[in-house]
Structure formats: C-alpha cells, structure tokens
Structure 1
C-alpha cells in the first residue's frame, strides 16, 4: 500500500476528485494548507502599505491505494493539476506498512475503498 499526498491549487481539486471517483477511488482526505516554495510571494496594497504574502493557499489531498494503483492516481493528479506555471504543486508517494478498519477489524488491502466504476452511484 502507498499513500499519495498532493499539494495542489484549489481549482484543480474538483476535476481530480471527479476523475478519481469515476476510476473507483472515492476515498480522499483533503485539508486547506498554506506553504511556500518556488512560487514568489504576492504583493498587495493594504491601506497604503505594501504587504507581501509568501504563504500561498493550497489543497492537500491524501489517499491510500494498492501499489498497483499508484500510477493511475498520480497520473490523474498530474493531468488536472499541471498548468505549466510555477506553483502547480507537488505529489509525494509514501509507503504504508499496515491499515485497519476500526469497525470490522479488517486489515491490509481489504480496508481500501477501491470500487469498480459499475459499483459507484451514478
């Protein structure tokens, strides 16, 4: 199992979520985060003073998938998040040693919420 963690622009989230859902990956966690990287700060004027904000808002998307599904998820994120401009974000893949479903006690890949597209509500 692997955890895919992506820091993306807000406007990229809905297309990514929609395609992952249609591919059978409905389980996502998202957080609104701020961070800095190569993207320069944005300078704004507020009451006559210039203020530069170096922390840019992003969406942090996290999902855990089987090793065989990692490239599909990463490709979907890259397809919808890439604008070609500085600040598009980053994708990280990290190993997950084990997972447990609290309700049933299931463990391992049985806990992943992967569905075939036919199983999903239309």
Structure 2
C-alpha cells in the first residue's frame, strides 16, 4: 500500500477530482492548506500599509491505494493540476505499513 499526497492550486481541484473519478478513485481526504516554496509572495495593502503574503492557499489530497495504481494516479493528478506556472504544486509518495478499519478492527490492504 502507498499514500499519495498531492498539494496544488485550489482552482484546479475540480479538474483533479474529475480525473481521479475517471480512474475509479472513490476515496480521498481533502484539506485546505497554506504553503510556500519557489512561488513568490503577493503584496497586499491594508489600512495604508503594505504586507507581503508568503503563504499561498493550496489544496492537499491524500489517497491510500495499491502500489500498482501509483503511476496512473500520479499522471492524472499531474495533468489535471498543471497550469505551467510556478506554484502548480507537488506530489509525494510514501509506503503505508498497515491500515486498520476502526469500526471492525480489520487490518491490511482489504480496508482500502
């Protein structure tokens, strides 16, 4: 089992969700997050003062899946999230040692 974490622009969420639905991906965790990287900060004005906003709003999705699905999920997210501009996001992959369904106590890949 693996966990795919993707962080990308909020305005690309619907496109990413639709691309994953076409692959039959039914479950994911979605969070609104803020982050910074190579993308430059934005300057905003408030009551006559100038502020640089360094943390940009992003969406983070987390998907637990079987390893054999990894490449097609990465490709779908990458294609749907890409604008070609700095700040399009990142995808991280990690191995999952165990999964437990809380309600039943069932363990292993069958719970995903």
Shorter-normalised TM-score: what interval? Answer: over 0.9
Task: State the distance in 2 between where 1:7 and 1:74 align.
Answer: 12
Aligned to 1:118: none
1:71 aligns with 2:71: yes
1:20 aligns with 2:20: yes
Q: TM-score, normalised by structure 2?
A: 0.94
Structure 1 runs not aligned, ≥5 long: 113-122
Within-5 A mapping of 1:74-113: 74-112=74-112
**Residue 107 of structure 1: how far off its partner (Å):** 2.1
Task: State the distance in 2 between where 1:102 and 1:18 align.
Answer: 29
Task: State the distance in 2 between where 1:5 and 1:72 align.
Answer: 14
**Residue 109 of structure 1: how far off its partner (Å):** 1.6
**Residue 27 of structure 1: how far off its partner (Å):** 0.5
Q: Deviations over 1:91-112 (max 9, x none)?
A: 0000001112222333222111
Q: Deviations over 1:1-59 (max 9, x none)?
A: 10000111001111111221231111110111111100010001222211110010101
Structure 2 runs not aligned, ≥5 long: none
Task: State the distance in 2 between where 1:22 and 1:84 align.
Answer: 23
Aligned to 2:36: 36
Once superposed, what is the RMSD of the aligned Cα atoms? 1.1
Q: TM-score, normalised by structure 1?
A: 0.87
The 3-state SS of whatever aligns with 1:15 is helix
Aligned residues: 112
